[in-house]
Amino acid sequence: MNAFLRKAIASVLLVSFWVPGSIRAAGMVPETPVVVLDEGVGEAGINVFNSESHPALLHTSVEDVPQDTESLLLLTPPVARVEPGATQRVRFILRSAQPLKTERLKRVIFEGIAPQDSTGKAQVSLSVRQNIPVILRPANLPVDREPWKHLVWSRQGTDIQVRNPSPYVVRLGHSVTLLPGQREMDLGRTYVLPGEQLSLSGTPDPSHAPLQVRLFPVTTYGFAIAHFDAPLVTD
């Protein structure tokens, strides 16, 4: 038996001895894959469904993206007991001191926490998190169903960059493909904020001069688009 296999078996045995009771997971399921809050309304809400066969505590929290840490949202309730098969409405209230000039991106985390076992048996309750985006939309900003078309893709030597000159948050797949050549480049994340410029990681295929960028966008409401081919400008 090799050393790797011995270590793997030892790890499994250690976990088995450490967990004396049962392990179970609690799941809270939001009704939509994204929350959109219109500044003109001032708030938004979402229903969260308890898919488990037992009551659970729903813990909700707002998380900033690293590029935008301004506190803009209040939520209620932060904690609520939800019966099995029932739903809980969670409200989000905008608290910006100034009118929004562009769309803003936050994240919301829904976590179900299972109650302790009433029999007194030891157990480990694993909570299941749902982490979805929240898009804050300025009051007078027109709806754009294809915001990814505003992205400007450029090449300088072997460097590929993308710039978002629009007021819209653009969500897309983690990587894009250079055409021709089918060379993948990594964006580093799945969104481009208004006014941002990002450099992609990867090396273009030297045997093919890329002319287009194939990206895989996601609509504001969370629906994936097959693909979109954008022109690549050479600086």
How many C-beta atoms surround the C-beta of residue 111 within 10 A?
19
Extract the runs of DSSP E, i.e. beta strands, from 65-208: 73-76, 79-82, 87-94, 104-113, 123-137, 152-156, 159-163, 170-172, 175-179, 183-186, 191-192, 197-199
**Do 91 and 193 share a structural domain?**
no
pLDDT of residue 167: 99
d(CA 186, CA 166): 22
Please report whether residue 122 resides in a domain.
Answer: yes
Q: Which residues, 6+ apart, have CB-to-CB distance to 216 below 8 Å?
A: 172, 173, 176, 224, 225, 226, 227, 228
Please give the tally of structural domains in the chain: 2
Both tokens of 75, joined, read 């939520």
**Do 208 and 122 share a structural domain?**
no
pLDDT of residue 126: 59
Residues of the chain with pLDDT under 70: 1-26, 117-127
Residue 182 lies in domain? 147-234
Please report whether residue 37 resides in a domain.
Answer: yes
Please report whether residue 151 resides in a domain.
Answer: yes
The conformational region for residue 148 under phi > 0 = left, psi -120 to 50 = alpha, else beta, is alpha
Please report whether residue 210 resides in a domain.
Answer: yes
pLDDT of residue 125: 58
Predicted confidence (pLDDT) per residue in 80-138, tens digit: 999 999 999 999 999 999 999 999 999 999 999 887 766 666 555 556 789 999 999 99
Please report whether residue 230 resides in a domain.
Answer: yes
**Do 208 and 163 share a structural domain?**
yes
**Do 173 and 120 share a structural domain?**
no
d(CA 137, CA 34): 13
pLDDT of residue 83: 96
* CATH number of the domain to which 118 belongs: 2.60.40.10
pLDDT of residue 119: 63
**Do 171 and 96 share a structural domain?**
no
**Do 166 and 62 share a structural domain?**
no
pLDDT of residue 121: 61
**Do 223 and 177 share a structural domain?**
yes
Helices (H), the chain: 3-18
Q: 205: closest CA among 178, 232, 173?
A: 178
Instruction: Specify burial of residue 41 (Cβ count, 10 A radius: 0-12, 13-18, 19+).
Output: exposed
CB 212 within 8 A of CB 177: no
